[in-house]
Each structure stands twice: as C-alpha cells, then as structure tokens.
Structure 1
Amino acid sequence: MPAPTSDLASFAIALAEELPGSWTTEHHTHAQYPDQFDRAQHVWDMNLVAHAIAEHVLGQDAALTRDDGTRLYVVARPRHGEEFLIGAIAPSGIPAEAFRTVREPDGIAVPDDPVQAAADITVDLLPRYDKALAQVHDNAARLATTPAPELVVITLTGRDFHVSKPERADAVQVLLANGCVFDKDQGAFVLPGGDTAAQSEAIQNTAAQLSRLGVGLTVQPSRTTPALDTAPATAPPRTTAPAARTR
C-alpha cells in the first residue's frame, strides 16, 4: 500500500495508479489567485469544491484524465491538512442548455491515502458522474429538435449566488419565493450565502419550479477574489477576466 503523502503532485500520481482504468496526470501551480480558474471554471460541482475555488487561494491543482476522456480535478482541502478535494470536470463541446435540470455530481473530500481515496471515488463520485453525463448526453440529443427556453443563470460569487433576472413575471416570483433578493445596482437577484445547506435546497427547488414553467436554469462558477476572512495576508489584486463557461 502506498504511503500517505501531503504533496499534491505526488498524491495525484499515486491516485492515478490506484484508480481503475488508465489515467494520466497534470499538475499546475498558480502565481496569482485568478490563474486557478483556467481549469477550475469547468469543475462540475456546486458544493465543497466550488466553495473552495471561490473562497480560497489554492496555489496549485492537479487534473487526472482517463483514456475515455473522463477528467477529475484535485486540490488540497483548505483548512484540512490531511485531506484532498476531488471533483469531476464537466465535458466540453456540449451546449450549456443540455446541463439544465441535471444535478451536478458534486465532489468529495478524501483522505491523504491514495488507496482509500481511489476506493471512495470509485464507489461514490464516478457513478454519480456517469449518471449525470448520461443525462446531459440525452438532453443534448433532444436539443436539436427542441427550442431552447429562457435561461436563468446562477453565478457563485464568494458565498453568495447571483441570479440573472428572468423576463417572465412568474419566473421572478419563483426566485422571490425561494429567498432571492433583487439587487437594483447589479440588476440581478442575490441568494445570500449564510447557510450553504439552505442555499443548495433553494437552488434545487428553484430549478424544479422554473422547469415546470418551461424556464431553464444553469449554474456557473465566477472568477472573483476570495472572501476577506479566507484570503491570505496579502490578497491578490482584483482582475477582470472573461466569463466562465456556463452549464
């Protein structure tokens, strides 16, 4: 059994050897906070991994790629010295609307033990990823003959979710009923982030209710600076970056 290691690059290599199938690894370091979003913006997660990306300066990450194209994102878990976070990377080349109503295969925390981490990924994350991917491909196949509905975009910004204002009044009422507050300065609704569990439930309820109205909903991460209480002593400067790919 490989010995546990706290080095991200070494952990990723050891993890790739333990996972079923043939995997390759890439390790990247980030000179500035915005640099981490080049790959992180495609992570298919709105839970542990998404919040770590939005709120912390990660410094480095690793990506594992299986020979069938499946990709995993690996970072050290902030404030947990003996754990890593593993998230699935969304497939590319698929219309954003195909991801509507599909539950993200949220990532998991794994121990600093490649054997146990591989087992957790194999029985938990990968089956949920395969299920979500099948649903996305099924949606994409129907898009060619189905007109795209109005799309509401939710963006993770720090701890809050910013929600684009829909054109339809009944869709607006759905947002209000699920705790969203309209911010006139931004021209968008805000779902406060004081309770992440409540946030997740509100988003799921909103998605289901909007779907019944024929209105789509997609979630995307945002390139923002981390929250002040999670940033390092010298925070990176704020930069303007291109919008992340929506899903």
Structure 2
Amino acid sequence: MPHLSHTRDLESFATALADELPGTWTSQYHRHEQYRDQFPLAEEVWDMNLVAGAIAETVLEHDAVLTRDDGARLYVIGRPRTEDEYLVAAMAPPGLDPEAFRGVREPDGIAVPDDPFRAADDITADLLPRYDKAIAQVQHNAAHPTPPAPAPAAAPERVVMTWFGDGLLAAKPESQAAATALHDNGFAWDPAEQAFVLPGDDTAVQALHVRSAGAQLAAHGIGVVLRHPPTRPALDTAAVPAAQQRNRPSKAHR
C-alpha cells in the first residue's frame, strides 16, 4: 500500500485554508505514528467516492480537520500520486442515529489545488453548499424520526368444521386452545382422519355440542367455518373414462 508523500506541508496548508473559508474555522493537524491511527477520524468522512477511495488505498501518515464554529468539519489530506493537489471531504455529524442518514446523499469530497485561496473558492462554491444541505436533511430526520412500520396483522385463527355424508363432523384446530374447546364439547381425536370428530347419530346432541364449542372458541377469539366436502360420484355410478369407451368393440364387430 503506497504512503502519502511528505513533501507537502499539510499543516500549513490546512491552517491557511481555515483562514480563507467563510465563517470561523479552526484547524487541527494530526500525524499518525501507525497505519491504524488514521481510521478513527477517517471513518467519519462523509464520502463514498474520491476521498473514501484514497483513504482505503493509502497509508496517510497525517491529516487535518477544519472545524467551523457551528460544528461542521472538513477532512483534509494530500491527494495520492500528485504533488499539487489536496483532497477535502465533509465529515458526518456525530452522535446521530444511523436512521437519520437514510436517504441522504453523501456530500462527496473534492480535489483542490495546492493554493489555499483557490482551494477556499472551490470549497465554498462546490462542497460547502452540498454539505450544509446534507447536514440540514440529517438534522431534520433526527428531529422527525420515521415511525417504524406496523407489523403485519396476523391472520385470525379459525376452526374449519366439515360435514360428511354420514353425519360425521370433522374439525381441524390450529392451536391448543381450539383443541381443548373441541375436546370439552364432545369432539374426539381420530388419528385416521387427523382431526377431531363428532358423531352425528343424534343430530340434536350434535347441534348442541357444535353451538357450545362455537361459543367457547369465540371466547378465545377463534372463528368457526362450516363446510361440506366436495361432491364425488359413487364408485358404482362413476362415468367410464373416454379412453376405455374408445377401446370397447362396437356391436358391428361382435
């Protein structure tokens, strides 16, 4: 990984640049003894383009931070592989919830000439307006957080009761509360049907059990749906498949 050149006086440039920017700015210069020392500040750089790439690809060895009296900060480093340019980037406002930055475009940094007067003009005309706009958006988001989306409502529980031709009533519960209500009202578990069943030998008793089970289920917020099974033709009256009809010999050939 390449090292940033030491031939430029970053500290003096940053100090002069702070004096030329509109408003009141102070400059703080940092020299890094080790490579990892550059990241605590670099991680706050609000850039996904030119400056972020330089930080990721270069051992910086030093940087400077300019701070405005309202707390806005600019990050300054030499531009790698050049001797006459610097990179200046905005720094994100600290202490805000990450959600405040959602939907806010990063005010990507810019390259400026090795001349604090011209550099200040470029920053004032290009970077600062975008930076101030982004800060205003983030502060607005922080002051008016978007409420979390409501969780989707769960489908209401229900018990489907199906009548069969012999008067048998089968019910399939979705919860233990529903199963208990069915069992308490005369339904018995049938492993073969994988359902609770209620015989129909005495329809009056059966109706009483169904009404009582429905009331107990409703007390738990559980609905009841009554269904009849799909109509099927009896085996001895089923229509002969067309293919079989075609294969039978006609009377003319008997």
Structure 2 residue aligned with 1:147: 148
Residue 30 (structure 1) aligned with residue 40 (structure 2): no
Query: 1:9 Cα deviation (Å)?
Result: 0.2
Q: Which amino acid aligns with 1:7?
A: D
3-state SS, counterpart of residue 78 of structure 1:
coil
After TM superposition, give the deviation of residue 142 of structure 1 in Å: 2.1
Contact 1:97–1:148 (Cα < 8 Å) also in 2: no
TM-score by structure 1 length? 0.56
Distance 2:49 2:13 in 1: 22
Tell me the equivalent position of 1:83.
85
Alignment-derived partner of residue 133 in structure 2: 131
Does the residue aligned with 1:42 lie in a helix, a strand or coil?
coil
Alpha carbons of 1:6 and 1:99: their partners in 2 closer, same or farther (altered >3 Å)?
A: same
> Of residues 56, 59, 62 in structure 1, which corresponds to 2:61?
59
1:12 paired residue among 1, 11, 14: 14
Quote the offset at 1:138 in angstroms: 1.6
Corresponding residue for residue 101 of structure 2: 99
Q: CA deviation at 1:148?
A: 7.3
When residues 31 and 148 of structure 1 are mapped into structure 2, their CA distance, relative to the original with a 3 A threshold, is farther
1:69, 1:56 → 2: CA distance? 27
Please tell me whether the aligned partners of residues 99 and 139 of structure 1 are also in contact (alpha carbons under 8 angstroms). Answer: yes
**Which residue number in structure 2 is paired with residue 115 of structure 1?**
117
Q: Secondary structure at the match of 1:138?
A: helix
- The superposition leaves residues 11-68 of structure 1 with CA deviations (integer Å, 9 ceiling, x where unpaired) of 0001011111111110001112111011111010001110111111011000001111
SS in 2 for 1:93: coil
- 3-state SS of the aligned residue for 2:144? helix
- 4+ long deviations beyond 4 Å: none
Q: Cα RMSD (Å) of the superposition?
A: 1.6
Tell me, what secondary structure is at the counterpart of 1:73?
strand
Consecutive unaligned residues of structure 2, counting only runs of 5 or more, are 1-6, 151-254
Aligned residues: 144
Which entry has the higher C-alpha Rg, 1 or 2?
2
Q: Please list, as runs of the form range in 1=range in 2, the aligned pairs for 1:190-209 lying within 5 A after superposition.
A: none
Alignment partner of 1:87: what SS?
strand
Aligned letter for 1:146? P
Q: Distance in 2 between matches of 1:83 and 1:34?
A: 24
AA partner of residue 90 (structure 1)? A
Q: Give the SS at the match of 1:61.
A: strand
Q: In the superposition, relative to structure 1, how do residues 17 and 134 fare at CA in structure 2: closer, same or farther (>3 Å)? A: same
Q: What TM-score, normalized to structure 2?
A: 0.55
Question: CA 1:92 to 1:79, structure 2 compared with 1: closer, same or farther past 3 Å?
Answer: same
Larger RCO, structure (CA 8 Å, separation 6 or more):
1
Residues 27 and 61 in structure 1, CA contact (< 8 A), matched pair in contact too: yes
Q: 1:67-88 deviations in whole A, cap 9, x for unaligned?
A: 1111100000011111000001
Shift of 1:6: 2.9
Q: Percent identical across equivalent pairs? A: 69
AA of the residue aligned to 1:137: Q
| Residue of structure 2 in register with 1:41 after alignment | 43
SS at match of 1:119: helix
Extract unaligned runs of 5+ from structure 1.
150-247
Q: Which amino acid aligns with 1:147?
A: P
